Amino acid sequence: MGRVGAIVIALAGVLVLAGTGVHVTQAQQPAPPDSLLRGAIDIHVHSLPDDRPRSVDGVEAATFARAKGMRAIVLKNHYESSAGPVFMVRKAVPGIEVFGGIDLNLTVGGMNPHAVEHMTKVTGGYGRIVWMSTFDAENAVRTAKENRPFVSVSRNGELLPETKAVIAMIARHNLVLATGHVTAQEGLLLLREGRRQGVRRMVVTHAMNPPIFMTVVQMQEAAKEGAFIEFVGSAIRTADDQARMDRFAAAIKQIGPAVTILSSDLGQQGNPLPADGFAMFLGAMRDRGISVADIETMTRRNPATFLGLP
């Protein structure tokens, strides 16, 4: 991808990076089912600026999504609030709604209610989601067998006071509680506490992905606590990815589209562009017997409710 100012335009199977003269052919890739993207909302998009390679910056991600007829995207950064960049992206790309949030990793102080409150004061008020720790979550660090500091949300089966303080801040400002990369059991603890404190909107972050690995029974329990269950497409290239799509479709049929949100979790360099990859994911679900009406529920109605949109 070209960098700042390069706008990605899909035309006749060729990616044209405006202002760069660079053309990247896509002849070997099947055309994604773009019709499924019209009016869709992707709550999980990674973009520059970041501390690691990304395929698009925020302006490019929003421009491409708008060109596909999408309604909204959420820009996520693991290590700092995306509320500020989103304000600028909205100014640069009118005609699509863009939101951000904060991920409670070590760089923002972990379980830090002050960081959450600060996000709510950023110009525009477009920071909507609070992800519990992801890459720095105790569960993620231990699963990867890394020897480094981590962020804990619980101890001995009980949420820590600072975790409850974060949840209280989420409730106070009517934000979204996203469970991040904590264990499945910790995710359920967070949801129960969120419900107890009056949090109105919650989601289990890519519930079936590592290092969470929620079972269908656990996802059904999470839904009973009032949470949506997120499934992310990511890249779909290999036989293992196809098997993952099979598992996702089977789980969605068991827990039901009424409590499910589909998103891309794309933006990584080398993967499909977020909107294209999202379309491929939705097409994979359709090909596995998920109806277009149910896909629209999981990509339009549910994420709109999740973000507090009409």
Report pTM.
0.90
DSSP for 225-294, written as a single string: TTEEEEEE-----SHHHHHHHHHHHHHHHHH-GGGEEEE--B-BTTSPPHHHHHHHHHHHHHHTT--HHH
Residues lower than pLDDT 50 in the chain: 1-31
Locus of tokens 């994420």: 303
Cα–chain-centroid distance for residue 285? 18
pLDDT tens readout for residues 102-161: 999 999 999 999 999 999 999 999 999 999 999 999 999 999 999 999 999 999 999 999
How far is it, in rounded angstroms, from Cα 58 to Cα 86?
A: 8
How far is it, in rounded angstroms, from Cα 96 to Cα 309?
A: 13
Non-local (6+) Cβ contacts of 251 within 8 A are 208, 216, 219, 231
How far is it, in rounded angstroms, from Cα 95 to Cα 43?
A: 17
Identify the pLDDT of residue 33.
74
Right CATH number for 32-307 from 3.20.20.140, 3.40.50.880, 3.40.50.2030, 3.40.50.11900? 3.20.20.140
Non-local (6+) Cβ contacts of 60 within 8 A are 1, 6, 7, 8, 47
Greatest C-alpha distance within the chain: 58
Sequence spans of domains, the chain: 1-29, 32-307
